[in-house]
Amino acid sequence: MTERTVHLAYFSPAGTTRRAVERVGLGLGPAAAVYDLVEAPPQEEIVLSKDALLVAGAPVYAGRIPAIGAERLRRLRGDSTPAVALAVYGNRAYEDALLELRDLLEENGFQVIAAAAVVAQHSIFPNTAQGRPDGADLEKLDAFARSCAERAEAPFRRLALPGRSPYRKPMGVPFRPSAGERCTACGTCARICPAGAISPARPRESGKDRCIACAACIRVCPQNARAFRGPVYTAAREGFALKCRARLEPEFFL
Ligand SMILES: Cc1cc2nc3c(=O)[nH]c(=O)nc-3n(C[C@H](O)[C@H](O)[C@H](O)COP(=O)(O)O)c2cc1C
Ligand code: SF4
Ligand code: SF4
């Protein structure tokens, strides 16, 4: 394992996928390169050699991986390079997302040696799975990383993963964050928005059609001015928390 260079890639608008990828990466060795597909997506194709090891993560949106994240992840190519795939979801279900992530990586020249569906705080309804991944999840990710190190040196065998292809139809959600009174029009949210939904000139308004509800703007706002708001949202958040209150556990595939 020691001779492999570890590369991390994540599309993580609200930050939980990043935490999971970093934790698994930590167990595999120092990262030679980090591709943050929200903050600094590669502008051109990057090819990882056979002796690299990629840990790639994406959140689950309506049982799929978000199209923008998929498009950005496709800029990384492998040369039969081993990869670990992590689909991170908000305690409802991950459906076809892990399968889709594995297929995308393999189409791009990687060999997915291990995969996991990881539970994390829901980015639209943060009172669901609040604070996850927590200590118990992180311990499981550490054990998973140790198994990944072994798998990377063993002959490749294709994983059997849950999910169906053709994948379910992508679906949006009806909620959009808005800027509240504390907004100073600093433009930080407009710079990070992966969908180009916020005008740098008028950051208080967000283009409702383009917005994918990813919550990156909420995470980066220095004034804590952005939030999902309104009575319909609040009622949906409470209903969702009730429906998804049973704790789901991460699943690992090796
Ligand atoms: C548009 C959208 C759709 C989502 N759909 C699902 C889903 O189908 N199942 C689920 O369990 N969580 C779902 N979530 C929650 C995210 O998968 C979860 O919060 C994830 O940890 C977000 O990753 P991030 O923190 O890296 O952005 C959704 C979140 C968003 C924004
Ligand atoms: S980051 Fe916050 S304060 Fe800055 S423009 Fe956006 S909503 Fe306003
Ligand atoms: S405006 Fe929408 S798409 Fe843009 S960062 Fe905010 S939630 Fe994400």
Do 192 and 155 sit in the same domain of this protein? no
Domain membership flag for residue 181 = yes
CATH number at residue 64: 3.40.50.360
User: Picking from 29-33, 117-121, 201-205, 218-222, which range would have the lowest pLDDT averaged per residue?
Assistant: 201-205
Q: What CATH number is associated with residue 229?
A: 3.30.70.20
Q: Is residue 10 part of a domain?
A: yes
The first and second tokens of residue 16, run together, are: 């939980």
**Residue 151 to residues 5, 22, 99, 113, 216, Cα–Cα distance (Å):** 15, 19, 19, 6, 34
β strands within 76-182, DSSP E: 76-78, 81-89, 110-119, 177-179
Per-residue model confidence (pLDDT) at position 205: 75
Answer yes or no: do 122 and 200 share one domain: no
Q: Is it the case that residue 57 has pLDDT exceeding 90?
A: yes
Q: Please tell me if the CB atom of residue 195 comes closer than 6 angstroms to any atom of ligand 3.
A: yes
The residue nearest atom 8 of ligand 3, judged by CA position, is: 214
Domain co-membership, 216 together with 140: no
Please check whether residue 84 lies inside any domain of the structure: yes
- Cβ-contact 120, 89 below 8 angstroms: yes
Domain count, the chain: 2
Say if residue 24 is in the same domain as residue 97: yes
221 lines ligand 3 (CB under 6 A): no
63: alpha, beta or left, given left = phi > 0 and alpha = psi -120 to 50?
left
Query: Residue 96 has which token pair?
Result: 């076809």
pTM of the entire predicted model? 0.98
Query: Do 161 and 195 belong together in one domain?
Result: no
- Best residue for ligand 3 mutational test, from 12, 206, 221, 229 (most atoms within 8 Å of Cβ): 206
Distance 195 CA to ligand 2 centre (A): 16
Cα–Cα distance, 254 to 52 (Å, whole number): 18
Is residue 103 in some structural domain? yes
Whether residue 192 sits in one domain with residue 158: no
Q: Are strands 226-228 and 251-253 parallel, antiparallel or unpaired?
A: unpaired
Q: 234 lies in a domain? A: yes
Residue 204, Cβ density class (10 Å: 0-12 exposed, 13-18 middle, ≥19 buried): middle
Written as one letter, the residue type at 74 is: R
Examine residue 172 and state whether it is found in any structural domain, yes or no. no
According to the model, what pLDDT value does residue 168 have? 98
| Residue range(s) defining the domain that contains residue 196 | 177-243
On whether both 112 and 221 belong to a single domain, the answer is no
Average pLDDT of the residues in 123-127: 98
- Whether residue 157 sits in one domain with residue 235: no
Residue 108 is predicted with a pLDDT of 98
- Mean pLDDT across 69-94: 98
The answer to whether residue 18 sits within a structural domain is yes
pLDDT band at 1 (very low <50, low <70, confident <90, very high): very low
Tell me, rounded to whole angstroms, the distance of Cα 205 from its chain centroid: 26
Clarify whether residues 108 and 204 are in a common domain.
Answer: no
| Domain identity same for 46 and 134 | yes
Q: What's the gap in Å between 12 CA and the centre of ligand 1?
A: 10
Ligand 3 pocket, 124 CB below 6 A?
no
Percent of the chain predicted with pLDDT > 90: 95
Query: Which residue, among 216, 189, 195, 224, has the nearest Cα to 207 in the 3D structure?
Result: 195
- Which ligand 3 atom is at minimum distance from the Cα of 216? 5
Note whether residue 211 is domain-resident. Answer: yes
29: pLDDT strictly greater than 60: yes
228 CA to middle of ligand 1, Å? Answer: 14
Do 12 and 101 fall within a single domain?
Answer: yes
Residues 136 and 20 in one domain: yes
Ligand nearest to the CA of 124: 1
**What is the model's pLDDT at position 59?**
98
Span 75-101, mean pLDDT?
98
Distance (Å) from CA 221 to ligand 2 centroid: 5
38 CB less than 6 Å from ligand 3? no
| Binding pocket residue ranges, ligand 2, CB within 6 Å | 179, 183-189, 203, 221, 223, 225-226
What are the φ and ψ backbone dihedral angles of 172, each rounded to 5 degrees?
A: -90, 180
